[in-house]
Structure 1
Amino acid sequence: MITRSARGFAHGQAIAERAAALGSELVELPGDRIVLPKDDDPRAAYRLAKSTLAIVVASPSKRRLQPIPPSADWRFDLAEGCHAHCQYCYLAGSLVGPPLTRVYANLDEILDVLPRHLGHGAVTSASPERAHEGTTFEASCYADPLGIEHLTGGLAEAVRFFGRWEAPVQLRFTSKFAGVEPLIGLPHGRRVRVRMSVNAPSLIRHEGGTSPLAARLDALARLARDGYRVGLTVAPIQPVEDWREGYATLFEQAARLLDDVPGLDLTVELITHRFTPGSKGVLQGWYPGSDLDLDEETRSRKLTKFGSVKYVYPADTMREMRAALTELVSKHLPTARMLYWT
């Protein structure tokens, strides 16, 4: 779908043309309101939303950058929503309405905001340990931009933007997709860090519609050989059966593929599984047959800084997992920098 306002932007029109050329049904909306066809079957409504891309215009409030600790100084969005089917999707309960993907047509307006934030921020800009990264901008908080890059081309434009930006800055994004071809050979200026979202092999089965683990790691190695800074976002970490062996296998595979990369700059981010009452309800509605552990009785109840409830692993379990994964990273990826555990 493309809204009336989005048709006024060249980037929006280009996305629509790519989608149509690839065989998608293109619906030109008479206005800017997105309305999906009604369906009394919630499963059918979910499938329709997940297979719908809406080309829209990011409002001024959407273009206002927000802090995004512990990942980066600032968050900006090229899109919102994801077409994958991850049974532990952290966007569930966070985004309002049907789970369609919205991509923004006014890309130039979005990128034009970024230079105002140069030198400001509370994560890398203010951290002695990470100050060398410069001012960091996260582009994958509410979407997986690489998963739709073959349609949008927006990520490549962002990479070129940062490549031209002669300043201590870094574009960051993470993905579960291996389609990195549009990014290979771009003039990124080493100002881009691409991370692959990975997990123990036994947990990847919860990530429907995404690239296999081996393909993700191979894509990361291709990017590293093309001079990109790279990283592993290990998430969501869960103490499933034989979890130590599973995560050891993950890091062994990564080490094998990255072993001969010259000038490798590799980071690791470790993120444990958590959920809210709202996200639990949404996920169980989306994936009623899932065996994902969402048992509140086995978790610790925490309050966020906004006063909402979330469920995390108990402190003893967190300490055990942190010690084990830290040791595994040090053993298999000794040159990697671990950015944070959460």
Structure 2
Amino acid sequence: MSGLLDIRRVYIEPEAAALPRGREILDRFPDAELVEIESHNRIPELYGDEANVARWVRIKTESLVLGVKKSLTARPNGRSSDFIAPSTANGCAMACAYCYVPRRKGYSNPITVFANIEKITGYLRRHAGRQGDKPEPNQVDPRLWVYDIGENSDCSVDATISDNVRDLVELFRDLPNAKASFATKYVNRDLLDWEPRGRTRVRFSLMPAADSKLLDIRTSPIAERMAAIDDFVAAGYEVHVNLSPVVVRDGWLEDWAELLGQLDDALSPEARAQLAAEVIFLTHNDRLHEVNLGWHPKAEEVLWRPELQQAKRSQTGGWNVRYRTGQKGRYVAALTDLLAEKLPYCTVRYAF
């Protein structure tokens, strides 16, 4: 893990500790202190304590939460996937400055793993069975129902902690009408041995290296992500790219042109033939802005740009900011035009 995780304390629900997956995870960290908790999402010393901003990365490195997923629902999506699958984990060991998860949890978001994997996979099998065949193609996929299995975490990192992600890949490998999908910023080559047989879509997130160095804290380098694409295609994964988040700053379009040229150089004919992209411009949040000022204020110089952004009240009561209407449309058109020029074989599934 190259220093990404050094688990010293596991917060654990008793119900999770009693399950086979829970015991497997605990066996991986035999020297960790165990702290019994009533609920994985109510841990006062982790969540809601402003003092934790100063220990942001240390908490991510040293703490793990082990719980049970209570509510199992597959929510309709329509952009990256047809459905958002019930989470098998949330939180992350990485520390991307633009991530929306911290503003939900409050000042700390170490990985939480759910041990009741059999219930989650059973639910997904039944849900996919009820859908039947996909009646018509859409921008998500022309033939199969697509389930995002990593909305609130990074599955490549989760796979270093438990076999939950492998269980999901193997589940979708055998479903006749569905595939899994997840975005990642971490190259975990253990996944190359899983034989997904085209039924898992890995979306490698990419941005110019200068942006990544500032904003993608504790992630795999952009060059390493691009270099992994051919290997994942050869291993049987469908591989797309997320050009995300696109941050507008001086020289941004020139840097994206350089990145797209590097991506073109990195891809085999087989990878090019199946490539598609999602293009997502930055959405930021006032609460996350405040968190970042406490641990990584340099990032806010490019993320928090009131002169370029407009605010909208979020569902959680805070304020989301995004690039101003009208101007954003011009930014999107400039980047998608550049993509068509540099990678004419790459389908843009959506851009916003």
Task: Confirm or deny that 1:213 pairs with 2:219.
Answer: no
TM-score normalised over the length of structure 1: 0.87
The 2-side partners of 1:174 and 1:33 are apart by 27
Q: Which residue of 2 is the match for residue 54 of structure 1?
A: 65
Q: Which residue of 2 is the match for residue 26 of structure 1?
A: 32
2:346 to 328, 336, 339: 336
| Corresponding residue SS for 1:261 | helix
Taking only aligned residues, the RMSD between alpha carbons, in angstroms, comes to 2.6
Q: 1:130 to 1:100 in 2, by over 3 A?
A: closer
Q: Which residue of 1 is the match for residue 335 of structure 2?
A: 325
Structure 2 counterparts to residues 71-90 of structure 1, below 5 A: 71-76=80-85, 77-90=87-100
Q: Which residue of 1 is the match for residue 4 of structure 2?
A: none
TM-score normalised over the length of structure 2: 0.85
Q: 1:161 to 1:127 in 2, by over 3 A?
A: same
* TM superposition shift of 1:262: 6.2
Q: 1:48 to 1:157 in 2, by over 3 A?
A: same
The 1-side partners of 2:342 and 2:168 are apart by 32
* TM superposition shift of 1:96: 4.9
Letter in 2 for 1:85: A
2:178 to 169, 174, 187: 169
Task: Confirm or deny that 1:202 pairs with 2:213.
Answer: no
The 2-side partners of 1:40 and 1:227 are apart by 44
Structure 2 counterparts to residues 127-206 of structure 1, below 5 A: 128-165=138-175, 167-179=176-188, 181-205=189-213, 206=215
1:13 to 16, 23, 37: 23
| Corresponding residue SS for 2:24 | helix
Task: Confirm or deny that 1:265 pairs with 2:271.
Answer: no
The 2-side partners of 1:207 and 1:238 are apart by 12
- How many residue pairs align between the two structures? 332
Q: 1:241 to 1:224 in 2, by over 3 A?
A: same
Q: 1:36 to 1:209 in 2, by over 3 A?
A: farther
Q: Is the 8 A contact 1:302 1:311 kept in 2?
A: yes
Structure 2 counterparts to residues 28-47 of structure 1, below 5 A: 28-33=34-39, 35=43, 41-47=51-57
Q: Is the 8 A contact 2:275 2:347 kept in 1?
A: yes
Gaps of 5+ in 1: none
* TM superposition shift of 1:175: 0.5
Task: Confirm or deny that 1:4 pairs with 2:10.
Answer: no
Letter in 2 for 1:29: V
Q: Is the 8 A contact 1:6 1:106 kept in 2?
A: yes
